[in-house]
Amino acid sequence: MSAALVTGASTGIGEQFARVLAERGHDLVLVARDRRRLDALAGELTEQRHVRCDVLTADLTEAAQLAPVETRAADVDLLVNNAGFGTAGRFVDLDVDGEEREVRLNVLALVRLTHAAARAMVARGTGAILNVASIAALQPAPNNATYAATKAFVLSFTEAVHEEVRGTGVAVSCLLPGFTRSEFQQRAGIDESQIPGFLWQSAEHVARAGLDGLAKNRAVIVPGALNKSAAVATRLAPHSITRRAAGIVMRRSTER
């Protein structure tokens, strides 16, 4: 039975990754900061799906806590780099220490875990890595500046690694979700009521789309027809227009 490591597994898309992977017969290593939630999820999946679930409590922005997760990442067959968070508001008004933590989690932790897993997988000639970015990776996002920039890095980085490991037996994919029902928006300070209902997807749908795309070794996975259309439009439209439009949407959703 193969083993999968999921970061940010305590809630939202990460929790759904864990549920779908358990459904598909994978043993799990669940990583997040919330031990209570992880233990509850691990117990449920062990009982219902008869898989092994190990729990690693870690703040991946801290090097000492990231290190043991890197060690485990080298031993699994599938890695899902899902952990991340966003901040909303004008960059000059935000706490710079919080912005640095965002970069450490969304970028640096993902790079180190990808390196640990990919090196071991290439040596074995098999494995799969799914890095979770966002549709926000496709353009600058005023009032969401650091988050969008970190996800742009994840997209570019993952596409490059995808090409580097071509032919080695290792799959590397980047998932670009749009608005997804989870706790992400509340934690980022985004008013969900300002976002039209038809734009939302469920975390389960996003997780399944990501894992299905990874199984086909797609470099970039955009779940949902609307998100696919938006991704194409964003790439084709003048950058100045998409940047300003994103700024208007984010400004409305973060105003109090």
Residue 147 · residue 246 · CB < 8 Å: no
Query: Of 250, 245, 199, which Cα lies nearest the Cα of 224?
Result: 199
Query: CA-to-CA distance for 129 and 133, rounded, in angstroms?
Result: 13
Q: Are strands 78-81 and 53-57 parallel, antiparallel or unpaired?
A: unpaired
Angle at Cα 222 formed by Cα 220 and Cα 226, nearest 5°? Answer: 150
Q: Is 147 a catalytic residue?
A: yes
- DSSP one-letter code for 216: T
Query: CA-to-CA distance for 160 and 60, rounded, in angstroms?
Result: 23
The token pair at 199 is: 């734009």
Task: Out of 19, 49, 151, 162, pick the active-site residue.
Answer: 151
Sheet holding 78-81, edge to edge: 53-57, 27-32, 3-7, 78-81, 127-132, 170-175, 220-221
Q: How many CB atoms lie within 10 A of CB 83?
A: 25
Alpha helices in 50-183 (DSSP H): 63-73, 96-103, 110-124, 145-164
Residue 129 · residue 173 · CB < 8 Å: yes
Task: Give buried/exposed letters for 176-204 (b at 16+ CB in 10 A, else e).
Answer: bbbbbbbebbeebebeeeebeeeebbebb
Task: Out of 17, 147, 153, 184, pick the active-site residue.
Answer: 147
Q: Is 216 a catalytic residue?
A: no
Q: Which residues are catalytic?
A: 147, 151
